[in-house]
Structure 1
Amino acid sequence: MAQATPSKHKQVIERYLEAFNEQDVDALPELVTEDVLVQGLIGADGDVNGIEEYGEWWTETLSGIPDAHIELEDYFESGEKVAARWTFTGTQENDLFDIPATNRSFEITGLAIFRMEDEKIAEKRYQQDDLGMLQQLGIVEEH
């Protein structure tokens, strides 16, 4: 059976994950709208509004987890809405959102619902296993 060509939305999401894995914060303008809205990010005090604020979050995250890597597991789309599930791995080698470096590794899953606009990410609603990450980093005791 012939392989289908990835949709434009999927190409954007794949490039977005590639940029994160390569710590290419400068790629954000090609991937997200200027007024992007992001919800559910660890370390963020509420919603992240706009490309500048989102870029700061990326920089902070990648500074704390220099080997951060996201692997796409599942992808679905319907119209302008996209859902992606991935596995996020890394080692917290430096301070991360006021959490001192632990030098411990983690592996968690996350799910995001994106709203696409003009072949860019305009909105991202994100949920990941933050508790599992904090437990694996030794910040929160496992029960």
Structure 2
Amino acid sequence: MAATTTPEENKRLARRFPEEVATEGKVDLIDEICAEDVIGHNPLGEIHGRDELKDHLESLQTAFGEFSATVEEVIAEGNLVAMRVTLQGTHAGEFMGVDPTGTEFEVVNMVFTRVKDGQIVERWVQPDMLGLMQQLGVIEQPGE
């Protein structure tokens, strides 16, 4: 069994997902930083295992070109890491039944990551879906 990691080590590990996997497109890094039975929770549903997580990330990369996830703040306590992340990109492919609009967007994303034995075992991802859909023109902004 691997040694327990420190909150600082957990912060470095959790940051690798938005910075390297999402922004740099290194989807195969999931095999290194995530447990085989990793669980992901997001507004579109639950993801189980590395392969499902890779498929999900690849579909997001197709939907949102020029995508970046910038970590703004990180807080860790024990085996849990909380991050505020800014997501930016261009709606370049189908997403949630919406054809590509070519629209650029920027939304806030809250991510909680649970680490065990030096790997990510669970993630909760909560992007501002309302803000995203408003920016893509799918939902009207208040006052329009």
Q: TM-score over 0.5 for the alignment?
A: yes
Residues paired across the two proteins, number: 135
TM-score, length-scaled by structure 2: 0.88
Q: C-alpha offsets along residues 92-121 of structure 1, whole Å, 9 cap, x if unaligned?
A: 112223321000011100111111011111
How far, CA to CA, are the matches of 2:65 and 2:34 in structure 1?
22
Dislocated runs of 4+, deviation >6 Å: none
- CA positional deviation for 1:7: 2.1
Q: C-alpha offsets along residues 43-64 of structure 1, whole Å, 9 cap, x if unaligned?
A: x3x2111111111110000011
Structure 2 match to 1:105: 104
Where do 5+ consecutive residues of structure 1 fail to align? 1-5
What's the C-alpha RMSD, in Å, of the aligned pairs? 1.4
TM-score, length-scaled by structure 1: 0.88
Instruction: Output the amino acid matched with 1:109.
Output: V
Correspondences of 1:67-82 after superposition (within 5 Å): 67-82=66-81
| Residue pair 1:60, 1:97 contacting (<8 A) in 2 also | no
Report which stretch shifted further, 71-80 or 96-105: 96-105
Corresponding residue to 2:41 among 39, 42, 60: 39
Instruction: Quote the sequence identity (%).
Output: 28
Task: Name the structure, 1 or 2, with higher relative contact order (CA <8 Å, separation 6+).
Answer: 2
- CA positional deviation for 1:27: 0.9
How far, CA to CA, are the matches of 2:127 and 2:93 in structure 1?
21
Correspondences of 1:6-25 after superposition (within 5 Å): 7-17=8-18, 18-25=20-27
Where do 5+ consecutive residues of structure 2 fail to align? 1-6
Structure 2 match to 1:3: none
Structure 1 position 62 matched with structure 2 position 42: no
